Structure 1
């Protein structure tokens, strides 16, 4: 039997009867056209070929349950549908990859900040050890507890000038000791 001479409707009938030659004729008749549609949709020949292959595989597997009235239209719509799903999956995959990269960068940045803060805290502690005990106490009250010079002076029974001296001295030592952590930003 010459399958090339058969109409699409006849080929579909033979296909439903498990006729592999009818399937091969459909494949040869529409492969190139479907490749062109898929290529137009995806932009890559490799992906287009894979989608056409998937379409024909599905056509064979679903030959008994598919309702095909116009074979050409059915195949073109099917390949467009497969191409659209492929593109959506690629977009979703790319967005997911971007999310993973962004999340990794964010975690890395957060870890770097934590490490830098920890290092800075240790450096501040070490620098504070180089200060006299009274200067450390005044500096902590001023900078860590946000107390005013006047309040510190009253609390420690010192003059305001003495408190300012200790704060200035502490800042000078800390600035010198923490040069490595200074940023030009």
Structure 2
């Protein structure tokens, strides 16, 4: 017995909308249109984000933020080409995310390396000596090249470009060694951190 035509083609009856149609429906607060956009573009956007950040968690969070913004701004956004709009919006989010990471890293560095300047009393001078010794010990735990990069950057105030040229390594490698140094120092000097 042949199944009824309605059952046979039920799945094919589901409407397939173009991006342009979805954009119009999105501007009318159609949640199904939003879900279709999400399903259609999530993986592509995730791949772009993951390629730039190298972190699955950060990539997923950035894509989530993008779609959250898309829905919140659905009434005011002027979208001519959906795919391009989403990719460009995501790239702005990625750039801002990376900038915020750099700013946070520099803040941590500031707190860490300026700890010595906070000490003024005689009792605190003892703490200063302990801190200096702890820093020396932490530096000895670093690989030779990492330690050298950190000294050139933070104690001799050389630029990333200058260090890369002197040590014959890439600027990206210099950034890597600096980040690694800060992490080791932070992990070894946590006891000296204050609540101020």
Q: TM-score, normalised by structure 2?
A: 0.54
Distance 2:69 2:82 in 1: 14
Listed as ranges, the matches of 1:96-111 within 5 Å are: 96-108=107-119
Q: Assess if the C-alpha contact under 8 Å between 1:42 and 1:48 holds in 2.
A: yes
Match for residue 2 of structure 1 among 8, 14, 17: 14
Q: SS of the counterpart of 2:29?
A: coil
Distance 2:66 2:42 in 1: 10
Q: Once the two structures are superposed, what CA deviation does each residue of 1:96-143 show, in whole Å capped at 9, x if it has no partner?
A: 1100111113334x6579847xxxxxxxxxxxxxxxxxxxxxxxxxxx
Equivalence for 1:36 = 47
Aligned residues: 114
1:17 is the counterpart of 2:28: yes
Distance 2:70 2:24 in 1: 13
Structure possessing the higher radius of gyration over alpha carbons: 1
1:91 is the counterpart of 2:102: yes
Equivalence for 2:93 = 82
Runs of 5+ consecutive residues of structure 2 not aligned to the other structure: 1-12, 127-196
Runs of 5+ consecutive residues of structure 1 not aligned to the other structure: 117-185
Residues 95 and 111 of structure 1: CA distance in aligned 2, closer, same or farther (over 3 Å): farther
Residues 96 and 107 of structure 1: CA distance in aligned 2, closer, same or farther (over 3 Å): same
Runs of 4+ in 1 over 2 A off after TM superposition: 105-108, 110-116
Structure 1 or 2: more helix by fraction:
1
- Does 17-26 or 96-105 show the bigger shift? 96-105
